[in-house]
Amino acid sequence: MSLIVQKYGGSSVADAESIKRVAKRIVETRKAGNDVVVVVSAMGDTTDELMDLANEVVPLPSGRELDMLLTAGERISMALLAMAIKGLGVEARSYTGSQAGVITDGQHGSARIMDVTPGRVRAALDEGAVAIVAGFQGFNRGSGDITTLGRGGSDTTAVALAAALKADVCEIYTDVDGIFTSDPRQVPAAQKIAVITSEEMLELAAAGAKVLYIRAVEYARRHGVTLHVRSSFNNNEGTLVVNSVDGESNVEEPLIAGVAADLSQAKITVVGVPDIPGKAAQIFTIIAGANANIDMIVQNVSAASTNRTDISFTLPKTDGAGALAALESSKSDVGFENLIYDDQIGKLSLVGAGMRTNAGVSATLFTSLYEAGINIEMISTSEIRISVVTRADTLTEAVRVVHTAFGLDGETEAVVHGGTGR
Ligand code: ADP
Ligand code: ASP
Ligand code: MG
């Protein structure tokens, strides 16, 4: 008898029919003799719709109230799913994150899990019931308030419960057959990956592949939880995310694991910065004070005639307004000339552990973009990743040509079973 944690994403429980379909699958797993804990996301695009609603009421909703609102989405799906399972004759009980013992810090909108005390979940299992837990939410002991874990955070709930309950496996059910070499919605030639290392998946998730939430991958890596990402629409094997590809099996790691695209970033250029020591420190201290997360940074060579330089960096669009306001208010202090804000950028990232030992990866990447007539505006690298910034409207084309250039195209077209891609 195994203990299985199954997480169903929003697209897998988008309507009543889908909820019944998922309930059947859970009942089959239970009847096969397993203990089953289910983590469920809000139905379809509910979270986005609730967010839109909040923004119609007020431009900057309070974090506490926004979390109260958004967690309602998962409450709806967990209760409906428990009803559907009971309807099939199997005992099931739903729990909010707080009832399931998901204890977090107090950071509304992006809370971190501090502890998991799943006493009630364990008791439900001991009594033979299926436990359904609302994903994406927790409870802060200090304030006594409800928190959310950040968009896509149901993945983290599933991993955290799997770790706390010492589950045999954590299955992440979604609307594609697993983790692909690129987003199947953008790249029909993308192929399913059978096994990927958590190291590569972390880079892909950080680079915009939202199939898994980065914090969930981090958590799984730290606690040794093996993830199986698969489709809730069929019984195909999906993708295993493992801590390292087993040397004994003699599987040679592919050069490139995948190509990710990210349209969520913007670029700020600080024009005419005096080229003297301390200016970068001053600028990025201001940005840090505005709680903006910087990604790439480029500083130009200063013009000899003026001894001034331009510094560009990328950051999430959602941090853009705050960073601009903070910089503007320190304009005379820093002594720069003006600011340029550009939210029409796209970031392509090529990820692969094989890059460490293979020369020529950047040459192939840049050549393929050049041949497609795509201009590169910024470049950054890590040990197993190369990222480039292009115009937003050329990003999909860029991802496709790079995917082809590295021989990643498959023979059959990747299938997307549901969801709106929102
Ligand atoms: P869920 O609602 O199940 O959490 P998400 O929308 O968060 O689903 O994640 C699944 C989606 O991730 C897929 O529909 C796909 O468009 C997107 N995606 C992006 N990159 C990849 C990738 N490399 N492999 C698979 N899916 C990807
Ligand atoms: N419902 C939340 C979201 O849409 C959490 C999740 O689906 O993982 O971000
Ligand atoms: Mg998700």
Looking at domain 247-422, what is its CATH homologous superfamily? VC0802-like (3.30.2130.10)
CB neighbours of residue 413 within 10 Å: 11
Q: Which of 116-125, 179-188, 237-246, 321-330 shows the lowest mean pLDDT across its residues?
A: 237-246
From ligand 1's centre to the CA of 260, what distance in Å? Answer: 11
| Substitution site in 38, 41, 71 for ligand 2 pocket (most atoms within 8 Å of beta carbon) | 41
Residue type, position 235, single letter: N
DSSP H helical ranges for 311-388: 317-329, 331-334, 361-371
pLDDT in tens, 65-122: 999 999 999 999 999 999 999 999 999 999 999 999 999 999 999 999 999 999 999 9
> What is the pLDDT, as a whole number, of residue 251?
53
Measured from the CA of 213, which atom of ligand 2 is nearest?
A: 8
pLDDT in tens, 195-207: 999 999 999 999 9
CB 256 within 8 A of CB 350: yes
> What is the pLDDT, as a whole number, of residue 357?
85
Residue 29 tokens, joined: 């797993």
CB of 120 within 6 A of ligand 1: the answer is no
> What is the pLDDT, as a whole number, of residue 1?
84
φ and ψ at residue 50, rounded to 5 degrees: -65, -40
pLDDT in tens, 250-307: 455 679 999 999 999 999 999 999 999 999 999 999 999 998 989 999 998 888 788 9
| Substitution site in 154, 174, 212 for ligand 2 pocket (most atoms within 8 Å of beta carbon) | 154
| Substitution site in 110, 136, 214, 422 for ligand 2 pocket (most atoms within 8 Å of beta carbon) | 136
Residue 409 tokens, joined: 């195209």
Beta bridge partners of 144: none
- Tell me how far apart the alpha carbons of residues 364 and 386 are, in angstroms, rounded to a whole number: 12
- Tell me how far apart the alpha carbons of residues 292 and 283 are, in angstroms, rounded to a whole number: 12
Q: Which residue has the tokens 């910087």?
A: 294
DSSP H helical ranges for 165-266: 198-206, 214-223
Residue 11: closest CA among 24, 22, 26:
22
Residue nearest to atom 17 of ligand 1 (CA): 211
**Segment 143-147 mean pLDDT:** 98
> What is the pLDDT, as a whole number, of residue 249?
46
> What is the pLDDT, as a whole number, of residue 385?
96
Measured from the CA of 48, which atom of ligand 2 is nearest?
A: 4
| Ligand number with the minimum distance to the CA of 419 | 1
Measured from the CA of 12, which atom of ligand 1 is nearest?
A: 3
Across the beta sheet with 338-342, the strand order is: 297-299, 308-316, 265-274, 338-342
DSSP H helical ranges for 116-177: 119-126, 154-164
Q: Is the pLDDT of residue 179 over 60?
A: yes
Domain edges within the chain: 3-174, 247-422
> What is the pLDDT, as a whole number, of residue 419?
78
**Segment 154-161 mean pLDDT:** 98
DSSP H helical ranges for 5-62: 16-31, 46-57
From ligand 3's centre to the CA of 10, what distance in Å? Answer: 8
From ligand 1's centre to the CA of 242, what distance in Å? Answer: 18
From ligand 2's centre to the CA of 280, what distance in Å? Answer: 36
φ and ψ at residue 271, rounded to 5 degrees: -95, 140
| Substitution site in 12, 151, 159, 211 for ligand 2 pocket (most atoms within 8 Å of beta carbon) | 151
Q: Kindly give, in sequence order, each residue whose CB lies less than 8 Å from that of residue 256, ignoring residues fewer than 6 positions away.
A: 181, 350, 351, 352, 354, 355, 361, 406, 408
CB of 151 within 6 A of ligand 1: the answer is no
Q: What percent of the chain has pLDDT over 90?
A: 91
Q: Which residue has the higher pLDDT, 254 or 133?
A: 133
Architecture of domain 3-174: 3-Layer(aba) Sandwich (3.40)
> What is the pLDDT, as a whole number, of residue 127?
97
> What is the pLDDT, as a whole number, of residue 252?
59
Residue 1 tokens, joined: 């008898």
Residue 72: closest CA among 59, 93, 53:
53
Q: Which of 57-66, 158-167, 242-251, 392-401 shows the lowest mean pLDDT across its residues?
A: 242-251
φ and ψ at residue 96, rounded to 5 degrees: -70, 170
Residue nearest to atom 6 of ligand 2 (CA): 152
> What is the pLDDT, as a whole number, of residue 248?
47
- Tell me how far apart the alpha carbons of residues 404 and 121 are, in angstroms, rounded to a whole number: 47
**Segment 32-51 mean pLDDT:** 98
Q: Which residue has the tokens 């331009």?
A: 310
pLDDT in tens, 282-297: 999 999 999 898 999 9
Residue nearest to atom 21 of ligand 1 (CA): 183
From ligand 1's centre to the CA of 26, what distance in Å? Answer: 22
> What is the pLDDT, as a whole number, of residue 253?
66
From ligand 1's centre to the CA of 343, what distance in Å? Answer: 23
pLDDT in tens, 392-413: 999 999 999 999 999 999 999 9
From ligand 2's centre to the CA of 10, what distance in Å? Answer: 7
Measured from the CA of 416, which atom of ligand 1 is nearest?
A: 14
Q: Is the pLDDT of residue 358 over 90?
A: no
Residue nearest to atom 5 of ligand 2 (CA): 152
Residue nearest to atom 4 of ligand 2 (CA): 47
From ligand 1's centre to the CA of 28, what distance in Å? Answer: 25
- Tell me how far apart the alpha carbons of residues 124 and 118 are, in angstroms, rounded to a whole number: 10
Measured from the CA of 155, which atom of ligand 2 is nearest?
A: 8
